[in-house]
Chain A
Amino acid sequence: MAQITLKNLAHSYFPNPQSEKDYALKEMDHIWQDGGAYALLGSSGCGKTTLLNIISGLLRPSHGRVLFGDRDVTEAETAERNIAQVFQFPVVYDTMTVRDNLAFPLRNRGMDASYIKGRVDQIARMIGMEEILSRKAQGLTADAKQKISLGRGMVREDVNAILFDEPLTVIDPHMKWELRTQLKQLHREFGHTMIYVTHDQTEALTFADRVVVMYDGRVVQMGTPEELFETPAHTFVGYFIGSPGMNFLDAQIAGNRAVLPDGTSVELGQSYGAPTGRTQIGIRPEHVVLTAGTGVPVTIRRVEDVGRHRLVRADAMGQPVNVVVPEGMPLEANLTHVSFAPQKINVYADDWRVAPQGASLGRAA
């Protein structure tokens, strides 16, 4: 096991990348602590899988180095890196039995038979496949096959890291929950570094201690679920995390006040000086309150009852504002304004978060 360091790493699928646009992965420096449970979150095509394949050695990066501990493994073969990886779609060896499938990575490394047997039984118990160990893998359902793939990924004890590339896409919802819990338990038990790629925020936030959000080939923020929720470093994080995502309103920022296009002034919790560029304020729907006359005027478009609470879809000066309204609070006709909790407002300039001046400087990653 080792700490994984990415140094000035960048990758392009073009042989001669001209501009930054040609890079699937923009230059980055990143450290994955030994034994951490990380989730790599982002929408499709943002470079998550590219990054994963570079770590496992299936892909050579165009620039930069990959270090496992102190060892430079940039040029090392996959096999040398001692990494386990589980892919999005099940990969099983059809002609082998379930048992042989699970034992395959161990046999290829010449482990002794009694150790293999013990280890295979242990993994089979974990993924609930003891009953069908002697069956051929061909003809099993997609989620059974994916469980075998997961099992094969976890069967080796000495791996440097286990990489999961959206492994639960093909699995039933109730089984997803169970497997995720098992992965978490496994992580606690063995302390492997785990990197879990997903575009599902629930999966990311429940699995990982630290979530790495990627956008357009860049790591935009790395933090605990709470940090991602409270202080998104980039508007993409605000929009991507949370359901629905953060509300963003164009505003001129001056000290601890934000002035919206129609002249309404909003009080901010801290002072931000005078950031330039396209400035916006961001506020979570959970921190917006409907009022009878104070704050920003809105037009309510729609109300959705999602069970635990209601969701009010409104417009303020042509920009959508979502409001979470607690169950039981009456929605009356005079509720025509919204007010924001000042401490919960974040300020963004050209999509990046502006740190408030003074006290809690640099809280975001």
Chain B
Amino acid sequence: MDKTQNNKAWFLVLPVLVIVAFSAVIPLMTVVNYSVNDTFGNNEFFWAGLDWFDEMIHSERLHGALGRQVMFSAIILAIEIPLGIYVALNMPKKGIWASFCLVLMALPLLIPFNVVGTIWQIFGRVDIGLLGHTLAALGIDYNYTNDPLDAWLTIIAMDVWHWTSLVALLCYAGLQSIPQAYYQAAKIDQASRWAVFRYIELPKMKGVLLIAVLLRFMDSFMIYTEPFVVTGGGPGNSTTFLSIDLVKMAVGQFDLGPAAAFSIMYFLVILLVSWVFYTVMTNLDREESR
């Protein structure tokens, strides 16, 4: 069947184009403009070519932040995904306790980011915080403001507390869609608990799990508010992740050119990694249905 050609239909897309232009394209182009110019304010620009990009690519400071960022995301994924699955597997399937658990799990997700940061900032303080003070009373030397390891542990614990629920809820939804007959058949086939997980639950959770990985990766890779509130990137630079470093550079030092080049590369890295995830996901699907 021939498609009806009606070029007037393009006009219907126009409002969306206008909105997207104002909300995304124009700001992005401004950033591009900054990244290839040098400026000292007053809207005076001096052409800088790709110098800022060159500087940023070879910047030790950026390498450090990127390294910390990758490590942070890797640790977050390695903890939250298995933990989320484990929690989902052990949540009650129905009844009043199922609803109770769902509400309980959703609570951390409803708290604003900087409030989460503040909660943990206070929670971990050695003088008044429940956690910090208790640890100090137990004789454990814990101080996230001057020990890099303690700072990392605090931030990771905070992120796990904040976001594992999301993974658990997604997995729970995946598990709920498995018909009872699968578990019955597995019993008849004398499958072990591990085999039930490996051959029934995991394959059925695969779709939501990939979404969970993608979401948690992007979110943790762009994390800003919570560590900024808790440690402000310190002690030293030990918890300065890409976003925090970027803000320091742009707002703190007013180095708009390098910061713009930095943001564009940051954006491209996230785009690239998400694209890789997406491609791998769809390819896996296609391969399995062949």
Question: Which residues of A are interface residues toward B (Cβ below 8 A)?
Answer: 53, 56-58, 77-79, 83-85, 87-89, 91, 93-96, 104-105, 108-109, 136, 138-139, 149, 152
Contacts and interface: CB of A to CB of B under 8 A. Distances in A.
Which interface residue of B181, B185, B203, B290 has the most chain A CB atoms within 10 A? B185
B191 A104 contact: yes
Given A89-B179, A89-B181, 4 more contacts: A83-B188, A87-B184, A96-B199, A104-B199
B192 interface: yes
Interface in B159-210: 179, 181-182, 184-185, 187-192, 195, 199-200, 203
A108 B191 contact: yes
Given A95-B199, A108-B192, A138 B187 contact: no
A109 B188 CA distance: 11
A93 B199 contact: yes
B2 interface: no
B289 interface: yes
A304 B192 CA distance: 56
A93 B200 contact: yes
A58 B185 CA distance: 10
A108 B288 contact: no
Contacts of A94: 203, 288
A85 B203 contact: no
Given A95-B203, A139-B289, A87 B191 contact: no
Interface of B: 179, 181-182, 184-185, 187-192, 195, 199-200, 203, 288-290
B188 A138 contact: no
A56 B290 CA distance: 35
Contacts of A105: 188-190
For A78, A91, A105, the residue with the greatest tally of chain B CB atoms inside 10 Å of its CB is A91
A91 B182 contact: yes
Contacts of B184: 53, 58, 78, 85, 87, 91
Contacts of A84: 188
Nearest to A59: B184
A260 to B, nearest CB: 50
14 contacts: A53-B184, A77-B187, A78-B187, A87-B184, A91-B182, A91-B185, A95-B199, A95-B288, A104-B191, A105-B189, A108-B192, A138-B289, A139-B288, A149-B185
Contacts of B200: 93
Nearest to A110: B190
B94 to A, nearest CB: 14
Contacts of B289: 136, 138-139
B185 A87 contact: yes
A85 B185 contact: yes
| Residue picked from A57, A58, A88, A152, most chain B C-beta under 10 Å | A58
Interface centre among B187, B190, B289, by most chain A C-beta atoms within 10 angstroms, is: B190
A19 to B, nearest CB: 25
Nearest to A83: B188
Given A87-B181, A91-B181, A139-B288, A56 B190 contact: no
Contacts of B288: 94-95, 136, 138-139
Nearest to A140: B289
A152 to B, nearest CB: 7
Contacts of A85: 184-185, 188
B184 to A, nearest CB: 5
A138 B204 CA distance: 12
Given A87-B185, A91-B185, A136-B290, A79 B190 contact: yes
A104 B290 contact: no
A153 B195 CA distance: 18
Given A93-B200, A138-B289, A139-B290, A152 B181 contact: no
Contacts of A95: 199, 203, 288
B189 A104 contact: yes
Contacts of B195: 108
Given A94-B203, A95-B199, A95-B203, A108 B179 contact: no
Contacts of B185: 85, 87, 91, 149, 152
A152 B189 CA distance: 8
Contacts of A56: 188
A143 to B, nearest CB: 17
